Amino acid sequence: MKNNAELQYQIEQFLYANASKCDQKKWDEYLNDFDEKLEFHVPQWKSEHEYTTNPKREMSLIYYSNRGGLEDRIFRVETEKSSSAYPLPRTLHQISNVRIVGIEGDEITVEAGWDTSYIRMEIVNRFFGVVHYRIKRNAEQFKITYKQVILMNDKINAVLDFYHI
């Protein structure tokens, strides 16, 4: 049990640090937490209680099939080539209820709650939901290989981007 408690703590600290890097706009450090083969998915809701599960055949709010999609988005944010991200909001990501739900080899499956408050152009708003991760562990290092963000308040009256979730 002690090993599971230590792993739980390490995963929590990794996820908290990842959220903080996003809030602080430390984009290189933030990207470094993601594996090259990252799959990043924010599904769209089909109905009140069912969301899409196949991003290649169904609608998604955001889908990157590898880390290159996230890298491109960050490049556009950094170079102000994205009018929807300028000015960039100030964000505060809160991660909660972190649970390890499976371990298979060097991959850890994790679920958590999340809540992001942000302010942009004097308008305060928030997004919240559940997030599913697959995290690869090797040599004292974690890398996110899969991130699926279930956005609970999907009636979006503003821009939704990677830095909100």
Give pLDDT, residue 160. 84
**Cα(40)–Cα(59) distance, integer angstroms:** 14
- What strands, in cross-sheet order, belong to the sheet with 60-64? 60-64, 34-43, 141-151, 123-138, 107-120, 90-104
**20, 84, 85 from 17: Cα distances, Å:** 5, 26, 23
Q: Indicate the pairing of strand 34-43 with strand 141-151.
A: parallel
Q: Per CATH, the architecture of 2-164 is what?
A: Roll (3.10)
Give pLDDT, residue 1. 42
Cα–chain center distance at 19: 8
Give pLDDT, residue 157. 72
Q: Indicate the pairing of strand 34-43 with strand 107-120.
A: unpaired
Supply the pTM of this predicted model. Answer: 0.93
Average pLDDT by stretches of 10, the chain with 165 residues? 81 98 97 97 94 94 95 89 77 97 96 94 90 92 97 80 87
| Domain extent listing, the chain | 2-164
Give pLDDT, residue 159. 78
Number of helical H runs and strand E runs in the chain: 3, 6
**Cα(146)–Cα(148) distance, integer angstroms:** 7
